[in-house]
């Protein structure tokens, strides 16, 4: 069996030094602030990490753009809104069905997600302006489909030439009368990453759509699930469990979502926040305007799922719900334990590295923990300091030119609809019993002392991490996949799940255990040698020779 050469492991501090030594001094100084050795909990002055700042030009980042965060991430999974990309065709094409967010159109069958709508701007539109073309595209979409909503997304050239997309949408909305048309100034360059796009999307959704449906909603224990995007069917599994527990989910932002779900979400009595990075603004705004409290949950990992469900039960404080949740957990944990008994012994003691987005690098550590695996190193692509260090740092976050570029909307209690779901005394009683509202402690607190945390990891650093520490599995996205596999380490895509999933909830955990067991125990990548590793000089002939 061919063995890959193990380099003697360096200490985390030596590793950091070696990594930085390759950079020019100015770059090294900046990167040094984005790479930290975790102090874990208990330290009085935990080090700060530099996050949500521009990527250094020339570095191959894992990040996406602001348009991707707005159109792809937040609005992408909503089936019955027509999403029109105003720009050259590339942006629309590459954001077309690439995120694996699934939907269930139900009996109405209204689903525009398989389509790609774009104004397909040409040179003359850039020179003479694209507003007319946009107005015509909106009109065409309305005539053809009569959707409840049409959303328009600006790409980089649109911002540069100054098309007033908001005015075009306003006019169309007035003209149609029965279709909500609004736009997003989410030009790719607007922020330092897709994170700016989340913020822009949520602000506009909140301004133009949330709260539209004034009818009281039926159902017991009404919640919204914020920051769950139904990748690989995760949302379907979570919905299955909610239904089994008797919890009514009025709206998911935005996995498997529809126009009406957003319109009615303000009737819920509790908001559950999964992905803190992309959605914490909405949770805050819903609390300020309507009085709905929010809690952080994690449905990735069977134990985390159970813990989060119990948190929901405790909030409502109703014995019927609490008993039902316990019964569901007991029933669902049976098969989970059986799967764990098979896979955990094969995985125990192995190591993982996770570099994903703005929340999964944290959430998936719970699943690896359930398999007895340790996370050596982790980081986010575009998270902010609060996602690493916890929400207590928010008041101290530096506002720079890039973050000032993103609008902060002022929200006030609604004169008619504001209604605190629990009295101040009830909230206090819950808090005194250890219940945490509006809190997220961040990833660092859950990681071991000495773990290496890296923000906005790049390709050179990823390859170095793998070369030095040889983890048993590396988790990131498609851009990293093949270079990691070529170095002999199995790679699991935690954005798209490599065509697999779901990984959320109880059944998702079972899927994950089996997938990881197969990956970490497969020798295929370490046995594979690239042709140039065996024979540095390649010779070839044409097939007809």
Binding mask 33-72 for ligand CFM (x = CB under 6 A): ------------------------------------x---
Q: Least distance (Å) from ligand CFM to the CB of residue 277?
A: 4
Q: Using CA atoms, how far apart are residues 68 and 484, in angstroms rounded to an integer? A: 24
Among all chains, which residue has been given the structure tokens 């993103």? 406
Binding residue for ligand CFM, selected from 340, 359, 375, 487, defined by CB under 6 A: 359
Compose the 183-222 pattern: x for residues touching ligand CFM by CB under 6 A, - for all others.
Answer: -----------x----------------------------
Distance CA(91)–CA(219), nearest Å, equals 41
Write each residue from 468 to 507 as x if it is in contact with ligand CFM (CB under 6 A), else as -, in one continuous string. ---------------------------x------------
Which of 155-163, 227-235, 289-297, 508-516 is the region at the interface with ligand CFM (rule: CB under 6 A)?
Answer: 227-235
State yes or no: residue 421 binds ligand CFM (CB under 6 A).
Answer: no
DSSP alpha helix (H) spans, 209-301? 234-245, 259-264, 276-290
- Residue 194 CB, shortest distance to ligand CFM, in Å, is 5
Kindly tell me which residue out of 35, 49, 70, 73 binds ligand CFM, with binding defined by CB under 6 A. Answer: 73
User: Comparing C-alpha atoms, which of 200, 197, 146, 142 is closest to residue 171?
Assistant: 142
Q: Residue 341: CB partners within 8 Å, gap ≥ 6?
A: none
Answer yes or no whether residue 275 interacts with ligand CFM by CB under 6 A.
yes
Query: Phi/psi of residue 478, each to 5°?
Result: -65, -35
Enumerate the active-site residues.
65, 68, 99, 198
Residues 234 and 228 sit within 8 Å (Cβ to Cβ): yes
Complex with ligand CFM: residue 99 or 307, whichever CB lies closer: 99
Judged by CB under 6 A, the stretch of 8-16, 205-213, 226-234, 281-289 that binds ligand CFM is 226-234
Phi-psi sector, 357: left (phi>0), alpha (psi -120 to 50), beta: left
Options 313-321, 326-334, 356-364, 426-434: segment touching ligand CFM (CB under 6 A)? 356-364
Angstrom distances, CA of residue 228 to CA of 121, 134, 271, 300: 33, 31, 12, 11
- Give the CA-trace dihedral at 309, 315, 316, 318, to 10 degrees: 80
- Which stretch, 2-10, 34-42, 270-278, 505-513, contacts ligand CFM (CB under 6 A)? 270-278
Residue from 256, 278, 377, 458 binding ligand CFM (CB under 6 A)? 278
Residues 6+ apart with CB under 8 A from 69: 186, 191, 193, 194, 195, 196, 197, 198, 200, 201, 278, 382
Judge whether 474 and 459 are in contact, CB under 8 Å. no
Binding residues (CB under 6 A) for ligand CFM: these are 69, 73, 99, 194, 227, 229, 231, 275, 277-278, 356-360, 495
């Amino acid at each position: 069996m061919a063995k890959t050469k193990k380099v003697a492991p360096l200490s985390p501090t030596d590793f950091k030094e070696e990594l930085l030594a390759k950079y020019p001094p100015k770059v090294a100084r900046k990167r040094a602030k984005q790479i930290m050795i975790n102090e874990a909990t208990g330290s009085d002055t935990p080090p700060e990490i530099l996050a949500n700042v521009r990527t250094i030009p020339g570095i191959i980042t894992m990040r996406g753009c602001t348009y991707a965060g707005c159109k792809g991430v937040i609005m992408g999974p909503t089936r019955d809104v027509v999403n029109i990309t105003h720009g050259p065709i590339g942006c629309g094409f590459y954001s077309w069905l690439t995120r694996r967010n699934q939907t269930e159109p139900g009996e109405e069958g209204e689903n525009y997600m398989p389509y790609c709508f774009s104004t397909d701007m040409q040179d003359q539109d850039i020179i003479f302006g694209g507003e007319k073309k946009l107005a015509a595209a909106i009109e065409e979409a309305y005539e053809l489909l009569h959707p409840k909503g049409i959303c328009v997304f600006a790409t980089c050239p649109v911002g540069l030439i100054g098309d007033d997309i908001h005015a075009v949408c306003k006019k169309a909305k007035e003209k149609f009368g029965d279709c909500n048309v609004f736009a997003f100034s989410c030009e790719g360059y607007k922020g330092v990453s897709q994170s700016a796009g989340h913020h822009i999307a949520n602000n506009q959704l909140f301004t133009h759509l949330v709260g539209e449906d004034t009818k009281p909603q039926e159902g017991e224990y009404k919640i919204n699930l914020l920051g769950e995007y139904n990748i690989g069917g995760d949302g379907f599994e979570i919905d299955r469990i909610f239904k089994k527990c008797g919890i009514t989910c009025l709206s998911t932002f935005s996995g498997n979502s529809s126009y009406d779900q957003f319109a009615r979400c303000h009737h819920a009595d509790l908001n559950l926040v999964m992905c803190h990075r992309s959605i914490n603004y909405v949770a805050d705004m819903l609390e300020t305007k309507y009085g709905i409290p929010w809690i952080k949950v994690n449905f990735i990992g069977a134990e985390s799922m159970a813990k989060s469900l119990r948190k929901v039960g405790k909030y409502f404080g109703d014995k019927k719900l609490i008993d039902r949740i316990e019964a569901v957990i007991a029933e669902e944990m049976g098969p989970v334990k059986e799967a764990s008994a098979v896979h955990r012994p094969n995985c125990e003691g192995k190591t993982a590295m996770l570099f994903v987005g703005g929340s999964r690098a944290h959430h998936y550590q719970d699943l690896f923990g359930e398999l007895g695996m340790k996370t050596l190193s982790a980081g986010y692509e575009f998270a902010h300091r609060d996602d690493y260090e916890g929400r207590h740092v928010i008041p101290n976050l530096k506002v720079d030119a890039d973050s000032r570029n993103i609008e902060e909307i002022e929200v006030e209690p609604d004169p008619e609809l504001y209604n605190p779901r629990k009295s101040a005394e009830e909230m206090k009683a819950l808090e005194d019993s250890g219940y945490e509202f509006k809190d997220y402690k961040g990833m660092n607190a859950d990681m071991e002392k000495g773990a290496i945390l890296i923000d906005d990891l790049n390709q050179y650093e990823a390859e170095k991490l793998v070369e030095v520490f040889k983890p048993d599995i590396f988790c990131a996205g498609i851009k990293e996949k093949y270079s990691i596999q070529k170095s002999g380490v199995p790679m699991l895509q935690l954005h798209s799940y490599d065509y697999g999933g779901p990984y959320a909830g109880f059944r998702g955990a079972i899927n994950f255990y089996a997938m990881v067991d197969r990956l970490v125990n497969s020798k295929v990548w370490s046995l594979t040698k690239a042709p140039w590793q065996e024979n540095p000089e390649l010779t070839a002939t044409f097939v007809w020779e």
